[in-house]
Structure 1
């Protein structure tokens, strides 16, 4: 990707996602305090721990937006980050209920596992085609609550990370408590 193409894309991102990092951080901290949506809680964890999970990510360019001129029917990406090497990193998240049991739940989990990979790979191809960005400069990641996905990305060039539902909830309580302590100690 030439510097001009990258600058054009970054300018596009700033136009459709003008919020500062601090504003997005405040939003996600609110989600941690009042977790009304499990998928958003997972996304909050990812955003607030991005350097631990994907240390090569440097700047959030898009969150829950379509990187294809706002054509949401062509797919929207949960996160698009700029990387230290100048590539773009697309991340899809999926809260997968690993605690539910039974045949129907196993089918549902497998469907969700397959879908999250399909989403990120499809988005990568559309993104490359629309913005004329070489596939080699688009990297993909998947972040879920299901450790079963961690090996699935190996053969298809998708970086995978997971956190258990239990650890996610422990983190939420701990993070929320720290924020409350900080607030009262100021």
Structure 2
């Protein structure tokens, strides 16, 4: 792969991602203060703790955007980062309600587990094809509230990280207090 392929993609991202890193940080700090959506809260946790969770991520390229122009029907990426090694790092997030019980909830959890992996695998393929980026230059990750997914990414070369729902809520309360005092 030539560096130009990744460079072309990075240049494209800088054109279509209108918000600055600071704007996105303020947005997520607002989500922490007023968590109206659990998926957004999970994304806020990831964004505000990216260096601890995925240390190789160095620059946010896309947030909730399609990697292929305005073709949102081809899928949107939750997060796309550039790594310190110049690779493209695709992260899909999914809030999975691990606290709900019953057969219907187990079925829903399995559906969400399968879907998040399917999404990131599909996005990796589309990135590779559309941007002419070799697959080894594309890294993928899944970030959820389900710690049982840790083993699942190994066979498909997907990094899997999670935060339990209770820890996410504890973090939200403490982060909100920290922001108030600044």
Measure how far apart 1:10 and its partner are.
1.1
In structure 1, the partner of 2:110 is 110
In structure 1, the partner of 2:58 is 58
Distance in 1, Cα, partners of 2:98 & 2:121: 23
Matches within 5 A, 1:18-37: 18-37=18-37
SS across alignment from 1:110: helix
In structure 2, the partner of 1:178 is 178
Runs of 4 or more, structure 1, over 3 Å off, are none
Matches within 5 A, 1:37-116: 37-116=37-116
Measure how far apart 1:143 and its partner are.
0.2
Unaligned runs of 5+ in 2: none
SS across alignment from 1:141: strand
Measure how far apart 1:151 and its partner are.
0.7
In structure 2, the partner of 1:145 is 145
Measure how far apart 1:11 and its partner are.
1.3
Distance in 1, Cα, partners of 2:21 & 2:2: 25
**1:165 pairs with 2:168:** no
Measure how far apart 1:8 and its partner are.
1.4
Measure how far apart 1:6 and its partner are.
2.0
Residue correspondences, number: 182
Answer yes or no: is the 8 Å Cα contact 2:6–2:88 preserved in 1.
Answer: no
Distance in 2, Cα, partners of 1:18 & 1:57: 20
TM-score, normalised with respect to structure 1: 0.96
TM-score, normalised with respect to structure 2: 0.98
Measure how far apart 1:18 and its partner are.
2.4
Distance in 2, Cα, partners of 1:99 & 1:39: 15
In structure 2, the partner of 1:120 is 120
